[in-house]
Amino acid sequence: MSSFFEYVGQCMPQLMTGLKLTLIMTICALILAVVIGMIACLFSISKVKPLNWLSSIYLSVIRGTPLLVQAFFIYFGLTSALGLRIPAFNAAIIVLCLNAGAYLSEIFRSGIAAVNKGQMEAARSLGLPYGVAMRKIILPQAIRIVIPSVLNQFIITLKDTSILSVIGCGELMRQGQQIVARNFRSFETYAIIAVMYYIVVVFLTKVFQIIERRLANK
């Protein structure tokens, strides 16, 4: 048992570096995903048909293909086709934000649909343009409704970062793979990684539950 804890101490600096990068990737990707998801949502409910089609294609492609395929396509496919070199970290952010953005788009759309339609009708009857009514009346209420789902998507995106070890991004799973490649102690290493993910996810879940309760009491 003492040798196991010694091994944990040896691995922890490198694994903590990977965990830090995992959290940075998740936060950056989710910030961009919120923007992408909101734009896709507004496109999908727009009365302009080309915008509807654009949003539908994006959602269909992202939700209809695995995250791993998307990562390979962006990191290997696009770089080969366009002759560009995208750093693994940047490619990981692009993959995560596009993937999460598609799901957030549906979350936002359901939040807008949950707002009483009479409020938009009342705003329009008072002479407010559609865009102003949406921005000042509908969206603030919809955002409050979807916050729990957005926080849940944060956890999903955090766990999805482990898949991006396949493109060489130095997140937590990739750091673990490098450790195993050196010492072949796969059982202990992946057990430590699993515990680290579990602790982070449980901590974030508790924090998000507190946030949800406070929002519910307002």
- Among 134-138, 175-179, 199-203, the range scoring the smallest mean pLDDT is 134-138
Predicted pLDDT of residue 218:
63
- What are the Cα distances from residue 102, in Å, to 6, 89, 115, 121, 200? 43, 20, 21, 28, 24
**How would residue 189 be classed by pLDDT, with cut points 50, 70 and 90?**
very high
Give the contacts of 31 (CB within 8 A, at least 6 positions apart).
none
Whether residue 134 has pLDDT greater than 60: yes
User: Model confidence over 29-44: pLDDT tens digits?
Assistant: 999 999 999 999 989 9
Alpha-carbon gap, residue 165 to 181, rounded angstroms: 14
Mean pLDDT score across all residues of the chain:
89
Selection from 149, 154, 160 nearest residue 204 by Cα: 154
Residue 170's Cβ-count burial label (10 Å; 0-12, 13-18, 19+) is buried
Alpha-carbon gap, residue 96 to 78, rounded angstroms: 16
| Share above pLDDT 90 across residues of the chain, in percent, rounded to a whole number | 55
Predicted pLDDT of residue 2:
57
Give the contacts of 8 (CB within 8 A, at least 6 positions apart).
188, 192
DSSP labels, 116-151: -HHHHHHHHHTT--HHHHIIIIIHHHHHHHHHHHHH
Predicted pLDDT of residue 192:
93
Give me the mean pLDDT over the 69-90 stretch: 88
Number of residues that make up the chain: 218
Whether residue 130 has pLDDT greater than 80: no
User: Model confidence over 97-125: pLDDT tens digits?
Assistant: 999 999 999 999 898 888 887 877 787 78
